[in-house]
Amino acid sequence: MMGFIWFWLVAVMIVGYVVLDGFDLGVGVLHLFLVRNEQERRTTLASIGPVWDGNEVWLLAGGGTLYFAFPLLYASAFSGFYLPLMIVLWLLVLRGVSLELRNHTDVGVWRALLDGVFGLASGLLTIFFGAALANVLRGVPLQADGYFFLPLWTNWQPGVHPGILDWYTVIGGLVALAALTLHGALWLTIKTAGELEQRARRIVNPLWLLLAALTVVSLVATIAVRPASLNNYFNYPFTFIIPVGVIASLAAIWFFNRKLQPMKAFLSSCGYLFFMLAGACWGLYPTLLPATTGADRDITMSNAISGPHTLAVGLAWWGFGMALAVSYVVFVYSKFRGKVDIDSAGH
Amino acid sequence: MTAELIHRLHFAFTITFHYLFPQLTMGLALLIVVLKSVALKTGSQQWDRAARFWGRIFAINFVFGVVTGIPMEFEFGTNWARFSRLSGGVIGQPLAMEGVFSFFLESAFLGLFLYGEKRISKVMHWFSAVMVFAGSWISGFFIIVTDAWMQHPVAYDRLPNGQFEVLSFWQLLLNPWALLQYAHNMTGAVVTGAFVMSAVGAFYLLEGIREEQARIFLKVGVIAGVIASIAIIFPTGDLHGKYVARNQPAAIAGMEGLFKSEAGAGMVLIGQPNEETGEIDNPIVVNDALSFLIYGTTKAEVKGLDQIPRDQWPTALPLLFYAYHIMAGLGTWFVLLMVASAFLLWRNKLYTAPWALWALLLSFPLPYIANTAGWMTAELGRQPWLIYGLMRTSEGYSNTVSASNGLFTLLGFMGLYTLLGLLFTVLIYREISNGPESTSAHESHAV
C-alpha cells in the first residue's frame, strides 16, 4: 500500500516538473528561431524569468522524494546513469547561468553567445530527459546486486546490453523535444502580444504535426521494445482511457489554438504531457526499473520501498509541505498573470 | 588514484565551490531584511536603494548557488550509491524537505522581490524580502540536519536488509548536533555577508564616491559584523566544540594535534603535526588551555589519539589540523577588526579612518576561507566514517562508477566551475562599479 502511494506521489512530482519546467525549456529552444529583435527576445525571456527557477525546484523535490521513498532505485539508477546525469547537470548549470547573465550585459556579442548557450542547453536537456524516460521504459542491464553502469552508446540497438542512446531512446528524446517546444510555443501565445504572438501561434501547427507523428512512432516502438508494457492495459481495459486522453488532448491543442483560446490550448498541452507520463508509469507499474537481464532482477516497488517508519514520517510532512508549495506556485503565477509588458514595470 | 579518492574529491570539490555562494546568500538575506525594514519604517529612498543594490548582488549570487547546488543532491546517488541505498530512508528526508519547504518558498518570493516591486505594495515587497530570508535559512537548516545525522546519527533503526530508517521526525530535526552546528554555521554566513557589505562601503569611501550609500553599508555591515564575529566564537563555536569533544574525541584530538592524552592539555596555536613521531613540530603552545576550553577546568584530561585505534584516526590528519587552525585564527582576526571598527563607528570616526577602511576592504575574502575551513574541519574530523561509527567512507562510494569515469566528470566540473568563477567575478565587479544608482542591470528583468 505504501509502495503504491509513494509510486504515484513521485509520479505526480515528475508530472509537475515536466509540465512546469517543460514550458520554460520549450521557450528556451524556441527563442532561437522565433524572435526577430532584442525587444522581442527580452519579452520572451521575461515570460519565464520569474518562474523558471521555481519550476526547476520540482526536479529537486521530486528527486528528494524518490531518494527517501525508494533508496535502492535512487542509488542504482543515479550511479548507473552516471554519465548522462552529469551531462544533464552541466547543461542545467549552463542554462541557469546564461539566462541570468544576459540580464547583466549590454554587449551584443556576449548576449548572442549567452542566448545561444541558453537555447542549445534547453534543447539538449529536453532530449536527455526524453531519452532518460525511454531508458527506464526499455530497461537496463541490472546485475544481481541491483546495480548497473551504462555507457553513452554501444551499437545503437536496444538489447540486453544497450547504451544510453539507441534508436529507441533517441525517439524518446525527439518526442520530448517536440512536445516541450510545442508546450513553450503555447505558453508564448498566452504571455506575448502582437507579431510575436502571431508567430508563436503559427509555429504551433508544424510542431503539432511533428509531435502527433512522433507520438505514434514512439507508441509502436515502445510496444516493440518491451511488449510487457501492455500487460496492465489488457488486465484493466478501462485504463485504455489513458491513450484516449493522449489523443483527445492532442486534438484539443489543435482545436483551441485555432479558436484563439491560448490558455485552453496550453492546458490541453499540460494534459497531453500528463497522459503521456501517466501512460508510461502505468506501463511500468509495479516495476520501477525493468532489467534487460531477466525479470527476476527488476527493481520493483516492493523491493525498493523504504522501511515503514521512514514512509510514515515522510507522509506526515509531505502532504502539508506540498500544499504549502502549491499555494506559493499559485500565488506567484497569479501575480505575474497576463501578457508580459517589459516597459510598465522594472526592478 | 583509487575510485574512493576520486569520489571523495568529486564531492569535496563541488560542495566547496557550491558553498561559496549560499554563505553570502544566507548572510545577505538577513542584511537585506534589515535594509528593507529601515526603508519601510523611515520611508528613506537611500535605504531602499541600498536594498535594491544588494538585491542585485543577491540575485547573481543566488543563481550561482542554485546551479551549483543541484549537482549536490544528484551526487548522493551518482557518486555515493552504496551510502544512499542504505541511508536514503533517513537523509533523503531532509533533502526532500529542503526542496518542499524551502526552495518553493525562496524561489517564489525571490521572483516577486526582484521582478515584482512595481506590481506589489511596499509592505508586500518587504514581506517578500523576509520570505526570501526565511527560505534561505530553512534551506540551510535541512542541509545541516542531513550532515548532522552523518556526524551524530540519531532516531534510526536498521532493517533486516541493512537499510537505515528514521523513527522520529522531531528527533531527526532536533538532533542536538544539528542545532549547535546550525547556530555556528548561520553565524558564519552572517560574518561573510557583513564583511562583504562593509568591504563595498569601505571601497566607495576610499575611492571618494557614493558616500551616503557607503555609510549605510558600513553601518549595517559593521554592526552585524561585530555581533556575528563574537557570536561565532562564543557561544556558538564554544558550545559546538564542546559537543564535538564529547561525541567525536578522535576529531578533537586531530583538530588540536593532541597525540597523547593529557591532564591539563595545552592548546597548540601553530605547528605542524608529525604522524611519524606523534608530535607537533615547531609548536607554540598555551599551557592547560585546551582542558579549560573543553571542560572548564585546567586539570581535566583530554583524550588524545593514543587512546584511539589507529584505524579510526581521521584519515587526513594534518589537513584537519590546519583547517581547524585557519578557521580559529581567522575568527580571532574577525573579532579584533570588527570590535575596532564598531568602536570607531560609535565614536563617529570610522568613515574617516583610512587604515580601518583598508583593513575592512582587504578582509572580505577571509570569511570565505574561514567558512570553508570550518566545513573541512567538520567533514575531515568525521573521517574515516561516512556515518559516524556506523559506516565507513570506503563502504559508501559507487563501486560501479570507475575511477576513470569519476575523474572524467571531476575534470568537467573543474573546467565548468573555473568558467563560472570568472564570470561571477566579472559580474559582481561590474555591479559594484555601476553602484547603487544604476538601475540598468536588471531592467530587462522587468515584466
The candidate with the shortest Cα–Cα distance to A32, out of A88, A115, A147, is A115
The candidate with the shortest Cα–Cα distance to A74, out of B164, B84, B79, is B84
pLDDT of A346 higher than 80: no
The candidate with the shortest Cα–Cα distance to A89, out of B106, B402, B397, B10, is B10
Which of A64, A306, A342 lies closest to B73 in CB terms? A64
Question: Measured between CB atoms, does B168 come within 8 Å of chain A?
Answer: yes
Question: Measured between CB atoms, does A92 come within 8 Å of chain B?
Answer: yes
**Parent domain of B108:** 3-445
Question: Measured between CB atoms, does A286 come within 8 Å of chain B?
Answer: no
Question: Measured between CB atoms, does B105 come within 8 Å of chain A?
Answer: yes
Task: State which residue of chain B sits closest to A147, comparing Cα positions.
Answer: B400
Q: How many domains does one find in chain A?
A: 1
pLDDT at A79: 96
Contact A346 B169 (CB under 8 A): no
Which of B92, B159, B399 lies closest to A68 in CB terms? B92
Helix (H) or strand (E) holding A267: helix A262-284
pLDDT at B1: 85
pTM reported for the whole predicted model: 0.94
The proportion of chain A whose per-residue pLDDT surpasses 90, expressed as a percent, equals 76
ipTM: 0.92
On chain A, the residues whose CB falls within 8 A of the CB of B441 are 103-104
Chosen from A6, A31, A67 to mutate, greatest number of chain B CBs within 10 A:
A67
CA distance B207 to B435: 12
On chain A, the residues whose CB falls within 8 A of the CB of B446 are 46, 342-347
Question: Measured between CB atoms, does B1 come within 8 Å of chain A?
Answer: no
Determine whether B138 is exposed, middle or buried from the number of CB atoms within 10 Å of its CB (0-12, 13-18, 19+): middle
Contact B78 A78 (CB under 8 A): yes
- The total number of residues shown for chain B amounts to 447
Question: Measured between CB atoms, does A313 come within 8 Å of chain B?
Answer: yes
Higher model confidence: residue A342 or residue A158? Answer: A158
Whether the CB-CB separation of B328 and B286 falls below 8 Å is answered with no
Distance from CA of B113 to the nearest CA of A (A): 9
Task: State which residue of chain B sits closest to A99, comparing Cα positions.
Answer: B63
Tell which B residues from 377 to 436 touch A, by Cβ distance under 8 Å: 398-402, 405, 408-409, 412-413, 416, 420, 423, 427, 430-431
pLDDT of A56 higher than 60: yes
Contact A63 B73 (CB under 8 A): yes
CA distance A68 to B386: 18
Contact A93 B63 (CB under 8 A): no
In a domain, A330, yes or no: no
CA distance B374 to A212: 56
pLDDT at B447: 37
pLDDT at A338: 84
Average pLDDT on A224-238 reads 94
In a domain, A267, yes or no: yes
DSSP per-residue codes, B168-196: -HHHHHT-HHHHHHHHHHHHHHHHHHHHH
Contact B104 A54 (CB under 8 A): yes
Contact A90 B98 (CB under 8 A): no
> CA dist B200 to B203, B207, B436, Å?
5, 11, 11
Tell which A residues from 18 to 77 touch B, by Cβ distance under 8 Å: 42, 45-46, 49-51, 53-54, 56-57, 59-65, 67-72, 74-77
Q: Give residue A343's pLDDT band: very low, low, confident or very high (50, 70, 90).
A: low
The candidate with the shortest Cα–Cα distance to B79, out of B415, B417, B378, B413, is B413
The cell for B384 is: 574515516
Contact A86 B412 (CB under 8 A): yes
pLDDT of A150 higher than 90: yes
In a domain, A346, yes or no: no
Whether the CB-CB separation of B255 and B227 falls below 8 Å is answered with no
DSSP per-residue codes, B375-423: HHHHHHHHTTEEETTTEEGGGTS-TTS-HHHHHHHHHHHHHHHHHHHHH
Whether the CB-CB separation of B304 and B279 falls below 8 Å is answered with no
**Parent domain of A253:** 2-313
Interval B383-402: pLDDT, tens: 999 999 999 999 999 999 99
Contact A346 B109 (CB under 8 A): no
The CATH number of the domain where A277 resides is what?
1.20.1630.10
pLDDT at B444: 42
pLDDT at B439: 66
Contact A101 B423 (CB under 8 A): yes
Contact B88 A75 (CB under 8 A): yes
pLDDT of A122 higher than 90: yes
Question: Measured between CB atoms, does A94 come within 8 Å of chain B?
Answer: yes
Question: Measured between CB atoms, does B59 come within 8 Å of chain A?
Answer: yes
Q: Give residue A344's pLDDT band: very low, low, confident or very high (50, 70, 90).
A: very low
CA distance B269 to B328: 9
Q: How many domains does one find in chain B?
A: 1
Which of B87, B107, B416 lies closest to A93 in CB terms? B416
Which of A62, A69, A104 lies closest to B441 in CB terms? A104
On chain B, the residues whose CB falls within 8 A of the CB of A79 are 77-79, 81, 398, 400-401
Contact B70 A93 (CB under 8 A): yes
The candidate with the shortest Cα–Cα distance to B20, out of B269, B329, B375, is B375
Interacting residues of A226 by C-beta distance below 8 A, sequence separation 6+: A137, A138, A139, A283, A290
CA distance B25 to B64: 10
The cell for A333 is: 503565477
Whether the CB-CB separation of A69 and A314 falls below 8 Å is answered with yes
Contact B398 A63 (CB under 8 A): no
Backbone dihedral angles phi then psi of residue B282, each to the nearest 5 degrees: 50, 50
The ranges of chain B with pLDDT < 70 are 439-447
Interval A249-285: pLDDT, tens: 999 999 999 999 999 999 999 999 999 999 999 999 8
The cell for A101 is: 547573465
Question: Measured between CB atoms, does A100 come within 8 Å of chain B?
Answer: yes
Tell which A residues from 104 to 163 touch B, by Cβ distance under 8 Å: 104, 106, 146-149
Which of B67, B91, B431 lies closest to A97 in CB terms? B67
Contact A49 B116 (CB under 8 A): no
Contact A104 B108 (CB under 8 A): no
Interval A85-117: pLDDT, tens: 999 999 999 999 999 888 888 888 999 999 999
Amino acid, res. B118: K
In a domain, A320, yes or no: no
pLDDT at A70: 94
The candidate with the shortest Cα–Cα distance to B256, out of B298, B293, B290, is B290
Interval A293-341: pLDDT, tens: 988 999 999 899 998 889 988 998 999 999 999 998 898 888 888 888 7
pLDDT at B92: 93
On chain B, the residues whose CB falls within 8 A of the CB of A64 are 73, 92, 95-100
Contact B118 A313 (CB under 8 A): no
Q: What is the mean pLDDT of chain A?
A: 92
Whether the bond into A141 is cis, omega within 30 of 0: no
Contact A347 B93 (CB under 8 A): no
